[in-house]
Amino acid sequence: MPEERKTIIIKEIQHWKKNHLLPEKYCDFLLALYTEGNTENVNHNQSNPMESTGVKPLHVLIISLNIFLLPVTFIVLYFTQLSSYLQVGFGSLMIVLSYSFYIIVKTKLDFSANYPLFILLVIILFVTSYLSQQLFQNQLIIALIALTQLIIWIGFGLKQKNKLLSIAGIVGFIFCLVYFVS
């Protein structure tokens, strides 16, 4: 059999194996048959570059969607003329979605859950700030609520040994103090 034809057949069998179109045992048998038992020489370099680095498209999608929640929440809460009930409902939905992404990353995916936790806490900060502005017109109460949340961030970051959360809490605390004192 010509080499070009063998190469095409081998690539097709690898495609079947990768996409589970045939059982793995059958694919291994066919690969051994067409490579004459020399499966080390099969060209594996033509795989997806994202897979060779360990990055999966699902991971990229989840990261992108989670990051997208942050500006959308901010824009809807602070730059739209929707009723307060709709904005609070939307903010609550964003919290639930962000929490879902956090749980998915923490339990199912094999990379750090620091960033989805940070995004979740920032969205909670946005929503509680908006709620406190709607419920209390007093700037002192709004400042106390924000500062309390940031202190919780610092404590949670120290407990979890999460430097990102601790630093973000400290920086946010300082900015809140400067903003509300001046």
Q: Are residues 42 and 117 in the same domain?
A: no
pLDDT of 35 > 70? The answer is: yes
Across the chain, mean pLDDT equals 85
Q: Are residues 87 and 175 in the same domain?
A: yes
Beta carbons within 8 Å of 4's beta carbon, 6+ residues apart: none
Number of domains in the chain: 2
Q: Are residues 68 and 108 in the same domain?
A: yes
Q: Which two tokens stand for residue 155?
A: 């404590």
Give the mean model confidence (pLDDT) for residues 18-44: 76
Q: Are residues 176 and 111 in the same domain?
A: yes
**pTM, 2 dp:** 0.68
Q: Are residues 98 and 148 in the same domain?
A: yes
Q: Are residues 83 and 135 in the same domain?
A: yes
Q: Are residues 124 and 143 in the same domain?
A: yes
Domain boundaries, position 41: 3-47
The dihedral built from the CA positions of residue 149, 175, 160 and 127, taken in this order, carries a sign that is: positive
Pick the more confident residue, 102 or 46: 102
Q: Write down the pLDDT at residue 168.
A: 93
Q: Write down the pLDDT at residue 54.
A: 60
Give the mean model confidence (pLDDT) for residues 103-126: 86
Element (H, E) at 30: helix 24-34
